[in-house]
Amino acid sequence: MLRGIVGALGTELGSLEPGSVRGTKALGAALSVALAVLAALILHSDEPWWAAISAWMMTGISLADALPKGVMRIVGSIAGATIAVIVLGLFAYDPLPFCLCLFIIAWVGLFSFAKSRHGYAWMIAAITGNLVMLIALDQPQTAFTIAVNRVGDVTIGTAATLLVTYLLPTLPDTAGSNVAGAPSRLPLLFWSRRYARELESWLSENWLLILHACRGGLTVMVLPLLLNWLVPLGSSQLAVTSVAVMAIPTTAVREPAGRAVVQRAVYRPVGCALGALLGLLCLYWVGQNLLAWLLFLMGGVWLSSQIQSGNTAIGYIGIQAGFAFLLSMIQGQGPPLSPIPGIDRFAGIMAGLSVLLIITMVMSLFRLAPRPATVRGG
Protein backbone atom coordinates (compact mmCIF):
# COMPACT_ATOMS: atom_id res chain seq x y z
CA MET A 1 0.00 0.00 0.00
CA LEU A 2 2.75 2.45 0.97
CA ARG A 3 4.66 1.67 -2.23
CA GLY A 4 1.55 2.54 -4.22
CA ILE A 5 1.18 5.82 -2.33
CA VAL A 6 4.80 6.78 -3.08
CA GLY A 7 4.37 5.96 -6.75
CA ALA A 8 1.11 7.95 -6.97
CA LEU A 9 2.71 10.95 -5.27
CA GLY A 10 5.56 10.83 -7.75
CA THR A 11 3.06 10.76 -10.60
CA GLU A 12 1.19 13.76 -9.20
CA LEU A 13 4.35 15.81 -8.63
CA GLY A 14 5.47 15.04 -12.16
CA SER A 15 2.18 16.20 -13.69
CA LEU A 16 1.58 19.59 -12.07
CA GLU A 17 -0.46 21.83 -14.38
CA PRO A 18 -0.21 25.52 -13.40
CA GLY A 19 -2.28 26.84 -16.32
CA SER A 20 -5.04 24.22 -16.45
CA VAL A 21 -8.38 24.04 -14.65
CA ARG A 22 -6.62 22.01 -12.02
CA GLY A 23 -3.98 24.71 -11.65
CA THR A 24 -6.63 27.44 -11.48
CA LYS A 25 -8.37 25.60 -8.65
CA ALA A 26 -5.07 25.30 -6.78
CA LEU A 27 -4.35 29.00 -7.30
CA GLY A 28 -7.82 29.85 -6.02
CA ALA A 29 -7.25 27.72 -2.93
CA ALA A 30 -3.92 29.41 -2.21
CA LEU A 31 -5.32 32.93 -2.66
CA SER A 32 -8.45 32.15 -0.60
CA VAL A 33 -6.45 30.80 2.33
CA ALA A 34 -3.99 33.71 2.24
CA LEU A 35 -6.82 36.27 2.12
CA ALA A 36 -8.69 34.53 4.94
CA VAL A 37 -5.59 34.42 7.14
CA LEU A 38 -4.74 38.08 6.54
CA ALA A 39 -8.32 39.14 7.29
CA ALA A 40 -8.36 37.05 10.46
CA LEU A 41 -5.07 38.58 11.61
CA ILE A 42 -6.27 42.12 10.88
CA LEU A 43 -9.46 41.44 12.87
CA HIS A 44 -7.36 39.92 15.71
CA SER A 45 -8.96 36.51 15.61
CA ASP A 46 -7.68 34.32 18.44
CA GLU A 47 -7.70 31.22 16.19
CA PRO A 48 -6.92 32.33 12.60
CA TRP A 49 -6.31 28.71 11.60
CA TRP A 50 -10.07 28.12 11.66
CA ALA A 51 -10.61 30.87 9.08
CA ALA A 52 -7.92 29.24 6.93
CA ILE A 53 -9.51 25.78 7.27
CA SER A 54 -12.89 27.25 6.34
CA ALA A 55 -11.41 28.76 3.20
CA TRP A 56 -9.54 25.53 2.34
CA MET A 57 -12.67 23.39 2.62
CA MET A 58 -14.64 25.78 0.39
CA THR A 59 -12.24 25.92 -2.56
CA GLY A 60 -12.19 24.14 -5.90
CA ILE A 61 -15.80 24.72 -6.96
CA SER A 62 -17.62 27.17 -9.18
CA LEU A 63 -19.31 30.31 -7.88
CA ALA A 64 -22.74 28.75 -8.48
CA ASP A 65 -21.77 25.89 -6.15
CA ALA A 66 -19.84 28.05 -3.70
CA LEU A 67 -22.75 30.38 -2.83
CA PRO A 68 -25.13 27.71 -1.44
CA LYS A 69 -22.21 25.89 0.15
CA GLY A 70 -21.12 29.11 1.85
CA VAL A 71 -24.62 29.71 3.19
CA MET A 72 -24.81 26.15 4.52
CA ARG A 73 -21.41 26.54 6.14
CA ILE A 74 -22.37 29.71 7.99
CA VAL A 75 -25.82 28.42 9.01
CA GLY A 76 -24.32 25.11 10.14
CA SER A 77 -21.67 26.92 12.17
CA ILE A 78 -24.28 29.02 13.95
CA ALA A 79 -26.38 25.93 14.71
CA GLY A 80 -23.39 23.92 15.94
CA ALA A 81 -22.08 26.76 18.11
CA THR A 82 -25.53 27.21 19.66
CA ILE A 83 -25.80 23.49 20.45
CA ALA A 84 -22.32 23.55 22.00
CA VAL A 85 -23.19 26.43 24.33
CA ILE A 86 -26.36 24.63 25.46
CA VAL A 87 -24.56 21.31 26.06
CA LEU A 88 -21.75 22.99 28.00
CA GLY A 89 -24.30 24.80 30.13
CA LEU A 90 -25.95 21.49 31.01
CA PHE A 91 -23.12 18.94 31.17
CA ALA A 92 -19.79 20.76 31.43
CA TYR A 93 -18.96 19.00 34.70
CA ASP A 94 -20.62 15.64 33.94
CA PRO A 95 -18.15 13.57 31.86
CA LEU A 96 -20.48 10.75 30.81
CA PRO A 97 -23.37 12.83 29.38
CA PHE A 98 -20.83 15.27 27.92
CA CYS A 99 -19.07 12.47 26.01
CA LEU A 100 -22.41 11.01 24.93
CA CYS A 101 -23.33 14.41 23.50
CA LEU A 102 -20.04 14.44 21.59
CA PHE A 103 -20.93 11.05 20.11
CA ILE A 104 -24.50 12.04 19.20
CA ILE A 105 -23.47 15.30 17.56
CA ALA A 106 -20.68 13.63 15.57
CA TRP A 107 -22.90 10.69 14.57
CA VAL A 108 -25.75 12.87 13.35
CA GLY A 109 -23.38 15.10 11.41
CA LEU A 110 -21.55 12.25 9.69
CA PHE A 111 -24.71 10.32 8.84
CA SER A 112 -26.66 13.35 7.65
CA PHE A 113 -23.68 14.47 5.57
CA ALA A 114 -24.21 11.43 3.37
CA LYS A 115 -28.00 11.29 3.43
CA SER A 116 -29.43 14.80 3.66
CA ARG A 117 -29.86 17.25 0.80
CA HIS A 118 -28.29 19.80 3.15
CA GLY A 119 -25.65 17.38 4.39
CA TYR A 120 -22.85 19.93 4.29
CA ALA A 121 -24.67 22.11 6.83
CA TRP A 122 -25.18 19.08 9.10
CA MET A 123 -21.49 18.22 8.93
CA ILE A 124 -20.34 21.77 9.67
CA ALA A 125 -22.80 21.98 12.58
CA ALA A 126 -21.32 18.79 14.05
CA ILE A 127 -17.71 19.88 13.54
CA THR A 128 -18.32 23.34 15.00
CA GLY A 129 -20.33 21.97 17.92
CA ASN A 130 -17.62 19.50 18.93
CA LEU A 131 -14.89 22.08 18.32
CA VAL A 132 -16.47 24.64 20.64
CA MET A 133 -17.31 22.02 23.28
CA LEU A 134 -13.74 20.73 23.42
CA ILE A 135 -12.02 24.14 23.29
CA ALA A 136 -14.19 25.33 26.20
CA LEU A 137 -13.82 22.08 28.14
CA ASP A 138 -11.37 23.57 30.67
CA GLN A 139 -13.25 26.89 30.99
CA PRO A 140 -16.97 26.40 30.22
CA GLN A 141 -17.74 30.01 31.12
CA THR A 142 -15.95 31.08 27.92
CA ALA A 143 -18.17 28.94 25.68
CA PHE A 144 -20.28 31.79 24.33
CA THR A 145 -17.25 33.92 23.42
CA ILE A 146 -15.56 30.98 21.73
CA ALA A 147 -18.76 30.16 19.82
CA VAL A 148 -19.09 33.72 18.53
CA ASN A 149 -15.43 33.80 17.50
CA ARG A 150 -15.72 30.50 15.64
CA VAL A 151 -18.74 31.71 13.68
CA GLY A 152 -16.81 34.87 12.86
CA ASP A 153 -13.82 32.86 11.61
CA VAL A 154 -16.07 30.73 9.41
CA THR A 155 -17.63 33.87 7.96
CA ILE A 156 -14.18 35.29 7.20
CA GLY A 157 -13.00 32.13 5.46
CA THR A 158 -16.23 31.76 3.50
CA ALA A 159 -16.23 35.40 2.37
CA ALA A 160 -12.59 35.15 1.27
CA THR A 161 -13.30 32.08 -0.84
CA LEU A 162 -16.39 33.61 -2.43
CA LEU A 163 -14.47 36.76 -3.35
CA VAL A 164 -11.56 34.82 -4.89
CA THR A 165 -13.96 32.48 -6.73
CA TYR A 166 -15.79 35.49 -8.16
CA LEU A 167 -12.57 37.15 -9.38
CA LEU A 168 -10.89 34.05 -10.86
CA PRO A 169 -11.80 32.59 -14.27
CA THR A 170 -15.04 30.63 -14.24
CA LEU A 171 -14.65 27.02 -13.17
CA PRO A 172 -16.89 24.25 -14.49
CA ASP A 173 -19.76 23.17 -12.27
CA THR A 174 -18.95 20.16 -10.15
CA ALA A 175 -20.52 16.95 -11.31
CA GLY A 176 -22.60 14.88 -8.97
CA SER A 177 -23.63 15.64 -5.44
CA ASN A 178 -22.29 15.32 -1.93
CA VAL A 179 -25.26 13.16 -1.03
CA ALA A 180 -24.34 9.48 -1.09
CA GLY A 181 -27.90 8.30 -1.53
CA ALA A 182 -31.46 9.55 -1.76
CA PRO A 183 -32.88 10.38 1.68
CA SER A 184 -34.96 7.59 3.13
CA ARG A 185 -37.24 8.24 6.08
CA LEU A 186 -36.60 6.27 9.25
CA PRO A 187 -39.79 4.35 10.22
CA LEU A 188 -40.46 5.25 13.85
CA LEU A 189 -43.56 3.10 14.50
CA PHE A 190 -41.43 -0.01 14.86
CA TRP A 191 -44.01 -1.80 17.06
CA SER A 192 -46.18 -2.31 13.98
CA ARG A 193 -45.33 -5.41 11.92
CA ARG A 194 -45.36 -3.38 8.72
CA TYR A 195 -43.07 -0.71 10.13
CA ALA A 196 -40.81 -3.36 11.64
CA ARG A 197 -40.19 -4.72 8.13
CA GLU A 198 -39.56 -1.19 6.88
CA LEU A 199 -37.15 -0.59 9.75
CA GLU A 200 -35.26 -3.76 8.83
CA SER A 201 -35.10 -2.60 5.22
CA TRP A 202 -33.92 0.86 6.30
CA LEU A 203 -31.17 -0.63 8.46
CA SER A 204 -30.03 -2.88 5.59
CA GLU A 205 -29.92 0.08 3.23
CA ASN A 206 -28.01 2.34 5.61
CA TRP A 207 -25.86 -0.14 7.53
CA LEU A 208 -22.54 1.01 6.05
CA LEU A 209 -23.37 4.65 6.75
CA ILE A 210 -24.35 3.78 10.32
CA LEU A 211 -20.99 2.09 10.87
CA HIS A 212 -19.23 5.01 9.19
CA ALA A 213 -20.92 7.49 11.55
CA CYS A 214 -20.24 5.29 14.57
CA ARG A 215 -16.53 5.17 13.76
CA GLY A 216 -16.21 8.94 13.83
CA GLY A 217 -18.60 9.41 16.75
CA LEU A 218 -16.85 6.85 18.96
CA THR A 219 -13.44 8.34 18.21
CA VAL A 220 -14.52 11.87 19.13
CA MET A 221 -16.31 10.53 22.20
CA VAL A 222 -13.28 8.71 23.65
CA LEU A 223 -10.75 11.48 23.00
CA PRO A 224 -11.45 13.30 26.31
CA LEU A 225 -11.41 9.97 28.15
CA LEU A 226 -8.02 9.00 26.67
CA LEU A 227 -6.54 12.48 26.98
CA ASN A 228 -3.89 11.55 29.55
CA TRP A 229 -3.02 8.28 27.80
CA LEU A 230 -2.43 9.65 24.30
CA VAL A 231 -0.27 12.76 24.53
CA PRO A 232 -0.22 15.73 26.92
CA LEU A 233 -2.81 17.72 24.99
CA GLY A 234 -4.67 20.81 26.08
CA SER A 235 -8.31 21.46 25.26
CA SER A 236 -7.40 23.48 22.14
CA GLN A 237 -5.22 20.69 20.71
CA LEU A 238 -7.93 18.17 21.58
CA ALA A 239 -10.43 20.22 19.58
CA VAL A 240 -8.06 20.30 16.61
CA THR A 241 -7.77 16.51 16.84
CA SER A 242 -11.56 16.11 16.78
CA VAL A 243 -11.81 18.27 13.65
CA ALA A 244 -9.14 16.13 11.95
CA VAL A 245 -11.13 13.00 12.82
CA MET A 246 -14.41 14.36 11.47
CA ALA A 247 -13.10 16.08 8.34
CA ILE A 248 -13.98 13.07 6.18
CA PRO A 249 -14.52 13.51 2.42
CA THR A 250 -17.77 12.31 0.90
CA THR A 251 -16.23 9.41 -1.02
CA ALA A 252 -16.01 5.83 0.16
CA VAL A 253 -18.67 6.01 2.87
CA ARG A 254 -20.60 3.26 1.09
CA GLU A 255 -17.72 1.04 0.11
CA PRO A 256 -18.66 -2.52 1.12
CA ALA A 257 -15.16 -3.95 1.29
CA GLY A 258 -13.59 -3.81 4.73
CA ARG A 259 -10.13 -3.54 3.15
CA ALA A 260 -11.16 -0.38 1.28
CA VAL A 261 -12.43 1.21 4.50
CA VAL A 262 -9.22 0.37 6.32
CA GLN A 263 -7.20 1.66 3.35
CA ARG A 264 -8.96 5.02 3.61
CA ALA A 265 -8.23 5.07 7.33
CA VAL A 266 -4.53 4.51 6.56
CA TYR A 267 -4.53 7.29 3.95
CA ARG A 268 -5.62 9.83 6.55
CA PRO A 269 -2.58 9.63 8.87
CA VAL A 270 -0.28 9.37 5.84
CA GLY A 271 -1.73 12.58 4.39
CA CYS A 272 -1.65 14.37 7.73
CA ALA A 273 1.94 13.28 8.34
CA LEU A 274 3.06 14.59 4.94
CA GLY A 275 1.25 17.91 5.38
CA ALA A 276 2.43 18.48 8.94
CA LEU A 277 6.03 17.61 8.15
CA LEU A 278 5.97 19.93 5.14
CA GLY A 279 4.59 22.72 7.34
CA LEU A 280 7.21 22.21 10.03
CA LEU A 281 9.95 22.17 7.38
CA CYS A 282 8.66 25.46 5.99
CA LEU A 283 8.65 27.00 9.47
CA TYR A 284 12.35 26.20 9.75
CA TRP A 285 13.06 28.50 6.78
CA VAL A 286 10.47 31.21 7.49
CA GLY A 287 11.69 32.69 10.76
CA GLN A 288 9.70 35.84 11.56
CA ASN A 289 9.35 37.06 7.99
CA LEU A 290 5.63 37.64 7.36
CA LEU A 291 5.95 37.77 3.56
CA ALA A 292 7.99 34.56 3.43
CA TRP A 293 5.47 32.90 5.75
CA LEU A 294 2.56 33.85 3.47
CA LEU A 295 4.41 32.67 0.36
CA PHE A 296 5.27 29.32 1.93
CA LEU A 297 1.67 29.05 3.16
CA MET A 298 0.29 29.64 -0.33
CA GLY A 299 2.82 27.24 -1.85
CA GLY A 300 1.84 24.41 0.47
CA VAL A 301 -1.86 24.96 -0.13
CA TRP A 302 -1.28 25.10 -3.90
CA LEU A 303 0.61 21.79 -3.83
CA SER A 304 -1.97 20.07 -1.60
CA SER A 305 -4.77 21.25 -3.85
CA GLN A 306 -2.99 19.87 -6.93
CA ILE A 307 -2.70 16.46 -5.26
CA GLN A 308 -6.32 16.62 -4.11
CA SER A 309 -7.64 17.17 -7.63
CA GLY A 310 -5.14 14.94 -9.40
CA ASN A 311 -5.74 11.94 -11.65
CA THR A 312 -4.54 9.23 -9.25
CA ALA A 313 -6.51 7.71 -6.38
CA ILE A 314 -4.77 9.69 -3.64
CA GLY A 315 -6.87 12.86 -3.66
CA TYR A 316 -7.90 11.82 -0.17
CA ILE A 317 -4.27 12.26 0.93
CA GLY A 318 -4.15 15.74 -0.60
CA ILE A 319 -7.16 16.84 1.46
CA GLN A 320 -5.63 15.62 4.71
CA ALA A 321 -2.19 17.00 3.82
CA GLY A 322 -3.62 20.47 3.22
CA PHE A 323 -5.50 20.33 6.50
CA ALA A 324 -2.44 19.32 8.55
CA PHE A 325 -0.19 21.78 6.69
CA LEU A 326 -2.43 24.69 7.68
CA LEU A 327 -2.56 23.57 11.30
CA SER A 328 1.25 23.40 11.41
CA MET A 329 1.83 26.76 9.72
CA ILE A 330 -0.87 28.84 11.47
CA GLN A 331 -0.47 28.93 15.24
CA GLY A 332 -1.14 32.51 16.34
CA GLN A 333 -1.02 36.13 15.28
CA GLY A 334 1.53 35.80 12.52
CA PRO A 335 4.55 33.59 11.81
CA PRO A 336 5.02 31.16 14.74
CA LEU A 337 7.75 31.93 17.25
CA SER A 338 8.41 28.24 17.73
CA PRO A 339 7.59 24.99 15.90
CA ILE A 340 6.64 23.33 19.23
CA PRO A 341 2.88 24.14 18.98
CA GLY A 342 2.87 22.68 15.48
CA ILE A 343 4.59 19.52 16.74
CA ASP A 344 2.03 19.24 19.55
CA ARG A 345 -0.81 19.56 17.04
CA PHE A 346 0.79 16.97 14.81
CA ALA A 347 1.13 14.58 17.75
CA GLY A 348 -2.49 15.16 18.73
CA ILE A 349 -3.79 14.61 15.20
CA MET A 350 -1.79 11.42 14.76
CA ALA A 351 -2.97 10.13 18.14
CA GLY A 352 -6.59 10.81 17.24
CA LEU A 353 -6.25 9.23 13.80
CA SER A 354 -4.57 6.21 15.36
CA VAL A 355 -7.59 5.76 17.62
CA LEU A 356 -9.82 6.14 14.55
CA LEU A 357 -7.77 3.54 12.67
CA ILE A 358 -8.10 1.04 15.53
CA ILE A 359 -11.85 1.61 15.78
CA THR A 360 -12.16 1.32 11.99
CA MET A 361 -10.28 -1.96 11.90
CA VAL A 362 -12.42 -3.41 14.69
CA MET A 363 -15.72 -2.22 13.21
CA SER A 364 -14.75 -3.41 9.73
CA LEU A 365 -15.24 -6.93 11.09
CA PHE A 366 -18.97 -6.30 11.39
CA ARG A 367 -21.11 -7.24 8.43
CA LEU A 368 -24.83 -7.14 7.79
CA ALA A 369 -26.02 -10.50 6.49
CA PRO A 370 -27.81 -10.27 3.13
CA ARG A 371 -31.55 -10.33 3.37
CA PRO A 372 -33.14 -13.62 2.23
CA ALA A 373 -35.29 -13.52 -0.87
CA THR A 374 -38.99 -13.16 -0.21
CA VAL A 375 -40.97 -16.33 -0.93
CA ARG A 376 -44.24 -15.65 -2.69
CA GLY A 377 -47.23 -17.86 -2.90
CA GLY A 378 -48.45 -20.90 -1.02
DSSP string, 237-256: HHHHHHHHHH---STTTT--
The answer to whether residue 373 scores a pLDDT higher than 50 is no
Strand spans (E) along the chain: none
If you count them, how many residues does the chain have?
Answer: 378
Highest mean pLDDT among 34-38, 50-54, 221-225: 34-38
Percent of the chain with pLDDT over 90: 24
Q: What is the pLDDT of residues 62-77, one digit of tens each?
A: 788 889 999 999 999 9
CA separation (Å) from 67 to 11, 74, 80, 167?
33, 11, 20, 14
Identify which has the larger pLDDT, 233 or 330: 330
Q: Which of 135, 104, 113, 127 is nearest to 54 (CA)?
A: 127
Residue pair 294/335 in contact (Cβ under 8 Å)? The answer is no
Question: What are the structural domain ranges in the chain?
Answer: 14-172+205-363
Residue pair 323/275 in contact (Cβ under 8 Å)? The answer is yes
pLDDT, position 159 = 94
For residues 226-254, average pLDDT: 61
Measured between alpha carbons, how far is 288 from 300 in angstroms, rounded to an integer? Answer: 18
The answer to whether residue 105 scores a pLDDT higher than 90 is yes
- Helices 290-308 and 315-329 cross at an angle (nearest 10°) of 160
Measured between alpha carbons, how far is 139 from 79 in angstroms, rounded to an integer? Answer: 21
Measured between alpha carbons, how far is 129 from 248 in angstroms, rounded to an integer? Answer: 16
The pTM for the full model equals 0.79
